[in-house]
Amino acid sequence: MKKHKPLSSYFMLVLCITFAISCNTSKKDNLKKNINPPVAKKKDTVLSIHGDDRNDPYYWLRERENPEVIAYLEAENEYYQKMTEDLESLSDSLFTEMKSRIKQDDTSVPYKFNGYLYITKYETGKDYPIYVRKKETLDAEEEVLFDCNKMAEGHSYFNLAGLSVSPDNKKVSFAVDTIGRRQYHIRVKDLESDTVLDDVIENTTGSSTWAKDNATLFYTKKDPVTLRSYQIYKHKLGEKTDELVYQEDDDTFGTAVYKTKSQDFLVIVNYSTLSTEYHVLEADDPDGEFRVIQSREKDLEYSIDHFEDHFYILTNKDKAKNFKLMKTPLNKTSKENWLEVIPHREDVLLEDIDIFKDYLVVSERSEGLNKLRIMRWDNSADYYLPFESETYTAYTTTNVEFDTDILRYAYNSLTTPSSVIEFNMATKEKNVLKEQEVLGGQFDKENYESKRVFATAKDGTKIPMSLVYKKGLELDGKNPVFQYAYGSYGSTSDPYFSTVRLSLLDRGFVYAISHVRGGQYMGRQWYEDGKLLKKKNTFTDFIACSEYLIEQNYTSADHLYAYGGSAGGLLMGAIVNMSPELYNGVIAAVPFVDVITTMLDDSIPLTTGEYDEWGNPNDKEYYDYILSYSPYDNVKAQDYPNMLVTTGLHDSQVQYWEPAKWVAKLRDVKTDNNLLFLDTNMDAGHGGASGRFERIKETAKEYAFILSLEGIEE
């Protein structure tokens, strides 16, 4: 994708941008005043469907290659930079502070796979990881697989992904994205000669998996326009033409390929929001034919794993909303052969399994809390790991070995740094392999406390919130609160520890995670009640949490700040339309705010695969409902909070023009003089900057914006 350099002269910007006469003045003296914001031109475009005509005057901002569009984005960036010049020292100070807490020369806990210990390292002052391995023991000579710092030289964005080592340990496939649009090219490195082979595979998801012959790679291609993952190819090393193995023709489905933990089966999975289908092939027969486990059915979801002579199947079959575990013989895989292992439970969400030779480890969620259940195959043991807090996160990590009694899992909480723990499932002995270090000498977890509270939604549902703050908090209504939520795709925002968040807590902030519907914090029904024609519950849940924080005197509308990104940015767009008076400031990161227009355009990445999440607006019922909350379409003449909106020019998940159009319309319609900024990273995509320190710089800028609104200058 073509990159655009910033235009060098202000004169060039004036040619393309009409500037507003009135200025947008800050409520805080430490921000610039009397600088006119850019105003995008209006070019009427009428969009018609279902007998409804919508005029979209900023539709033209979708023209990525149009110099006028780039000029507008650059003008917004220049405006943001000039208006916040006085915040640079605060932002720099925050960055230095955040960086000082990080152990820069850090090393991951090694994990063993196929005779080698694999380790990820970071070195002081460097942005990117270094991947190394050692044969059998940590005393062995270190072999550098990839130094991403060297590979990233000359690139403003860099991401290495999809590392896959061949069964004979002699080769490794890897994928690189230097744009940020998640279109990876796959290469293969010969580890014996330390050279990269000539094989290059373009426009992939990045992941690949080896057959047991050490010469055949299976990978997933993307549609070059929609970026839908739709083809599985087979690549023989050294050959120029790859064989198409599978093509997914239903544009509401995507596809992927991987290998089971047992290493015995190659697996193709076809997935949509509400349906899945799996195909398997013995990994030692790469030229064989994949066979289906169970043909796709509407509303039938399942996933598979392999152990000995059975496939184990996590599924919602027979209306098991919270999922159940079943198994089936390798040669009789259709659903009528599935036998129940763990039944469905109304109050427990079955999230995942890890299979070992003697044990089955089950990841569950009950009353919003993570649970890890240990079960022996011979039924001689069945117990849960004990966790005491209500604001913690626990999950299994890298467990690639079958024949072991050792389970590796991670634990952290809102007040406790992350630990990687080895647990002996036979003796129940626990060994902390590593606890995240918080440098700088200022952090003491005893200085902070956390709690879980419940707000009441409009329909009477109790909405959980996880709070963390410095001890000694007074409920006087004057505390600044930073409220976060996501609330889509069944993705749960678990309470976790963050070193950068300490920069808010130590300045008197309360950090609040609202576990709104649309996630799965309280089980699968929690997700079902926050999607499709119930999507507005996500927004009203967040507002109910905000009102609770104010009613309980944690804060007031003058000190309440909201943050959300991507689908969480949709949430931000909805709440500022619905209840703008509740918030002093809002940050919307890569926000999905032009919902109705995007969901009507099936040429845009992700659209067709998300009809089951948002609804298909080609159906009038869904059109009317989505249109009733789509943030861009519901901007109106009213006061809005101070707002910072961020995006990336190469974003493939939420196209840059959604936030750009939204900000342009807000500038035209809103009735206040509060701050409104659009910050476009011209070199990045959905995930923002790629280096670990560059990401912290982005967070520091966001925090500086919030702190300035609160009148905190250092």
Encode pLDDT of 224-274 as tens digits.
888 889 999 999 999 989 999 999 999 889 999 999 999 999 999 999 988
Instruction: Name the strand (E) or helix (H) holding 318.
Output: none
Radius of gyration in angstroms for the set of CA atoms belonging to the chain, rounded to a whole number: 26
Using one digit for the tens of pLDDT, what is the confidence trace for 37-64? Answer: 999 999 999 999 999 999 999 999 999 8
Active-site choice (651, 652, 679, 683) = 651
Q: Percent of the chain beyond pLDDT 70?
A: 94
Mean pLDDT, the chain, whole residue set: 91
DSSP state of 98: H
- Annotated active-site residue 262? The verdict is no
Active-site choice (26, 208, 363, 566) = 566
pLDDT of residue 496: 95
Q: Identify the bridge partners of residue 251 per DSSP, sorted by sequence position.
A: none
Q: Which long-range contacts (CB under 8 A, 24 or more apart) does 215-223 make?
A: 216/286, 217/164, 217/173, 217/186, 217/188, 218/245, 218/257, 218/266, 218/286, 219/186, 219/257, 220/255, 220/256, 220/257, 222/183
pLDDT of residue 439: 93
- Annotated active-site residue 92? The verdict is no
Place of tokens 């080698």: 116
pLDDT for 2 beyond 80 = no
The mean per-residue pLDDT over the stretch 386-391 comes to 89
Using one digit for the tens of pLDDT, what is the confidence trace for 398-450? Answer: 998 889 999 999 999 999 999 999 999 999 999 999 999 999 888 999 999 99
Question: Cα-Cα-Cα-Cα dihedral of 136, 140, 145, 149, to 10°?
Answer: 130
For residues 48 and 600, the answer to whether their CB atoms sit within 8 Å is: no
> How many Å apart are CA 500 and CA 438, to the nearest integer?
10
- Taking each helix axis from N to C terminus, what angle separates 88-100 and 692-709, rounded to the nearest 10 degrees? 130
* φ/ψ (deg, to 5) at 610: -115, 10
* φ/ψ (deg, to 5) at 377: -65, -30
Structure tokens at 71: 């000029």
Q: What is the domain class of 449-709 according to CATH? A: alpha beta
pLDDT for 171 beyond 70 = yes
Active-site choice (494, 541, 686, 690) = 686
pLDDT of residue 478: 96
pLDDT for 479 beyond 90 = yes
Using one digit for the tens of pLDDT, what is the confidence trace for 319-360? Answer: 999 999 999 999 999 999 999 999 999 999 999 999 999 999
Using one digit for the tens of pLDDT, what is the confidence trace for 104-160? Answer: 888 999 999 999 999 999 998 888 999 999 999 999 999 999 999 999 999 888 889
Q: Which long-range contacts (CB under 8 A, 24 or more apart) does 121-130 make?
A: 122/692, 123/149, 127/152, 127/690, 127/691, 127/692, 127/693, 127/694, 128/152, 128/158, 128/160, 128/690, 128/691, 128/692, 129/160
For residues 180 and 686, the answer to whether their CB atoms sit within 8 Å is: yes
Give the pTM: 0.87
Instruction: Give the sign of the dihedral formed by CA 385, CA 386, CA 390, CA 393.
Output: negative
Using one digit for the tens of pLDDT, what is the confidence trace for 205-220? Answer: 999 999 999 999 999 9
pLDDT for 690 beyond 60 = no
> How many Å apart are CA 531 and CA 614, to the nearest integer?
6
- Taking each helix axis from N to C terminus, what angle separates 567-578 and 536-551, rounded to the nearest 10 degrees? 60
Which residue, among 640, 706, 648, has the nearest Cα to 667 in the 3D structure?
640
pLDDT of residue 12: 27
Using one digit for the tens of pLDDT, what is the confidence trace for 455-473? Answer: 999 999 999 999 999 999 9
Using one digit for the tens of pLDDT, what is the confidence trace for 590-624? Answer: 999 999 999 999 877 667 778 989 999 999 999 99
Q: Identify the bridge partners of residue 470 per DSSP, sorted by sequence position.
A: 448
Place of tokens 């427990």: 348
pLDDT for 73 beyond 80 = yes
Domain ranges of the chain: 351-435, 449-709
* φ/ψ (deg, to 5) at 384: -110, 145
- Annotated active-site residue 310? The verdict is no
> How many Å apart are CA 75 and CA 158, to the nearest integer?
26
pLDDT of residue 74: 96
pLDDT for 7 beyond 60 = no
pLDDT of residue 389: 86
